[in-house]
Structure 1
């Protein structure tokens, strides 16, 4: 009976914009059993993407409003529901599993979960990333690599992207991919606290103890620390940032899967690519050691008293993160604008709408502005569906 309940929950989560596919191993069911009690699973099955007050959700659950409110709040504290505070009442909504529920359980991950989630990521990549045009994450070049460019859009430059008042508060949490590797017995030497959160997402992390608050200065110091550690900045694929991952090839689940492909660069949302000036290159190899995509390679040697390596860039692998540029002392490496227009959704909710639309899961999901309007007017789900399908 429990397996049937958790299979229903998996299918419910799979209807969310980012998906949560069934695996051959059944690992997703084992993870759900670790995260949800049967009672919480039943509540989750009645949740929608639309942020709603407890009294409205209680009607669907056929529960007392006070009891429903207590259960919903406990689930939010455990990272099973997203909570938005309003003057009238807290609102609760169903989040994505990946880039949502799973990351909020970073403090609960052990070896068993770390090994089982590999199967989930493999399925997500094959079914919901590999062939999809809309991506959840976008490569944002490290700041110093594009400082010389005059026409860079603000949402392409890290510090301009994250430092505005509208993005406060700021928070940092442990990188769940590096936590996984450590639990599997392969801890790396890169920084652990590198998952950056902004605005409403940061508030949620801080309130529930999933991360800690950063000052603006501490945020900039954290960005510098990540650049020195050669971590790729990958932010929410939206002009208004909500979170930013700092990825490396040893730990990152996304990089692990994408690098198996023949042309991994085509699977990233990025506006730049690296260009090398051979005449300025001294063959030091720092660019090669910092590249997380293994896009830099030795293509030959210069003859002389000492054989000097000649490096080249595999354009099918380069994702334009700029890590090679910031470490290139002679300035042989530069970032070149791809010139192709980037279709970057305005907000995180607009991104989720685009994800849902491409996956054919638009039913039940509307942008936040419409959500607020619907809630204010106390419209039912039937009316919301009509607005969604306009």
Structure 2
């Protein structure tokens, strides 16, 4: 049986960050089919987390730079790719399911999608989430000593960092938004999450 492009996409996402494991029900494929067209999925599979210009991607996929630029920007606008804008330069890269695809859908969620995310979490993703504690961030031996310099930013330093941010956004909490859409919300404020810099462009 030929593997669908959405199964290939699921396997790629499963390699990133907290993963994106397969399920018996196939709910993860339904989620991907709602977020991506087949053309979107093919483009995502050409990308990596390393940021690239449309021209760089175009040279690899055999399409015009203009067509690729339009497609990448459209995908980034829909929260399917990460976009970094610096001056006149735009670069794009693949993103994991969490933190990435899920959070970037915060303004597009509806009840149907929230129910799919709930079903996926209960069937498979909760295990990936719990099991990531010792793999998401871990020490890797490099066979040599490293000078450790640790510091905790003072209050004044933290304030200065925030003052230097060009963009600061307060957005809906994705967890509260999802819960509210399936009638399991709480009475806490919805707009409770900060995004800074390039992440705030979403």
TM-score by length of structure 1 reads 0.44
2:25 alignment counterpart: 25
1:162 and 1:18, CA in 2 relative to 1: closer, same or farther beyond 3 A?
A: farther
Structure whose CA Rg is larger: 1
1:2 and 1:97, CA in 2 relative to 1: closer, same or farther beyond 3 A?
A: farther
1:114 and 1:3, CA in 2 relative to 1: closer, same or farther beyond 3 A?
A: farther
Alpha-carbon distance in 2 for matches of 1:186, 1:174: 16
Per-residue Cα deviation, 1:287-314 (whole angstroms, up to 9, x for no partner):
xxxxxxxxxxxxxxxxxxxxxxxxxxxx
Tell me the secondary structure at the aligned position of residue 132 of structure 1: helix
Tell me the secondary structure at the aligned position of residue 47 of structure 2: coil
CA RMSD of aligned residues (A): 2.6
Alpha-carbon distance in 2 for matches of 1:2, 1:116: 25
Alpha-carbon distance in 1 for matches of 2:158, 2:113: 33
TM superposition shift of 1:82: 0.7
1:197 alignment counterpart: 195
Q: Check whether the contact 2:10–2:29 (CA below 8 A) recurs between aligned residues.
A: yes
**1:93 paired to 2:93:** yes
Q: Please, which of 174, 177, 180 is the counterpart of residue 179 of structure 1?
A: 177
Return 5+ residue gaps in structure 2 as ranges.
138-150
Alpha-carbon distance in 1 for matches of 2:198, 2:128: 29
1:126 alignment counterpart: 127
Q: Check whether the contact 2:76–2:83 (CA below 8 A) recurs between aligned residues.
A: yes
Tell me the secondary structure at the aligned position of residue 186 of structure 1: coil
TM-score by length of structure 2 reads 0.81
Return 5+ residue gaps in structure 1 as ranges.
137-151, 206-390
How many residues are paired up?
187
Per-residue Cα deviation, 1:66-88 (whole angstroms, up to 9, x for no partner):
10111111111111111111345
Alpha-carbon distance in 2 for matches of 1:3, 1:99: 26
1:197 and 1:131, CA in 2 relative to 1: closer, same or farther beyond 3 A?
A: closer
User: Which shows bigger deviation, 118-127 or 95-104?
Assistant: 118-127
Tell me the secondary structure at the aligned position of residue 18 of structure 2: coil
Alpha-carbon distance in 2 for matches of 1:39, 1:2: 18
Q: Check whether the contact 2:19–2:97 (CA below 8 A) recurs between aligned residues.
A: yes
Alpha-carbon distance in 2 for matches of 1:26, 1:87: 42
Per-residue Cα deviation, 1:300-352 (whole angstroms, up to 9, x for no partner):
xxxxxxxxxxxxxxxxxxxxxxxxxxxxxxxxxxxxxxxxxxxxxxxxxxxxx
**1:82 paired to 2:119:** no
Q: Whose relative contact order is higher, 1 or 2, with alpha carbons under 8 Å and at least 6 apart? A: 2
Alpha-carbon distance in 2 for matches of 1:78, 1:108: 8
